């Protein structure tokens, strides 16, 4: 299913990510997952939170710019080869990912995926998940 992720470009310096995390904590926002990718000058912080609207408002009030990015979130069985099957399905449909990360929430493995063509990604993975339920 498509959900919204917060994407924040932060300076690659001490305390930059802390300010984001503390702002969310101060406003009672629960961070479900995060990923940080860095370059020499800045980092890209990707967050899945329990309330995107409130989080964006809190960050904006602190002068932190966050972008809402649609991503595909899916349950992936926590067993060998599960993600490989998902990626094979995308390969077969010629869908290239921009990024992928995963986490566990309440014992359920979740994968977060993004592609330039989110409609194709959504159609492919929705059909894949439906087919898996029928097995």
The CATH code of the domain at 2-69 is: 3.30.2130.10
Tell me the C-alpha distance between 62 and 89, whole Å: 42
Query: What does pTM read for this prediction?
Result: 0.88
Residue 106 pLDDT exceeds 80: no
Name the CATH topology of 70-134.
Alpha-Beta Plaits (3.30.70)
Give the residue among 124, 126, 99, 123 at the shortest CA–CA distance from 113.
99
Residue 10 pLDDT exceeds 80: yes
- Give the pLDDT confidence score for residue 133 in this predicted structure: 79
End-to-end CA distance of the chain: 19
Q: How confident is the model at residue 107 (pLDDT cuts 50, 70, 90)?
A: confident
- CATH 3.30.2130.10 placement within the chain: 2-69
Q: How confident is the model at residue 42 (pLDDT cuts 50, 70, 90)?
A: confident
Tell me the C-alpha distance between 5 and 69, whole Å: 5
- CATH 3.30.70.260 placement within the chain: 70-134
Give the tens place of pLDDT for each residue, 55-87: 999 999 999 999 999 999 999 988 889 999 999
């Amino acid at each position: 299913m498509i959900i919204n992720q917060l994407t924040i470009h932060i300076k690659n310096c001490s305390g930059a990510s802390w300010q984001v995390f503390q702002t969310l904590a101060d406003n009672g926002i629960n961070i479900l997952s995060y990923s940080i990718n860095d370059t020499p000058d800045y980092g890209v912080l990707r967050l899945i939170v329990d309330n995107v609207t409130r989080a964006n408002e809190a960050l904006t009030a602190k002068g932190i710019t966050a972008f809402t990015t649609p991503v595909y979130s899916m349950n992936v069985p926590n067993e060998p080869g599960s993600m490989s099957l998902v990626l094979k399905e995308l390969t077969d449909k010629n869908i290239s990912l921009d990024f992928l990360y995963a986490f566990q929430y309440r014992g359920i493995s979740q994968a977060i995926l993004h592609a330039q063509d989110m409609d194709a990604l959504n159609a492919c993975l929705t059909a894949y998940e439906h087919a898996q339920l029928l097995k």
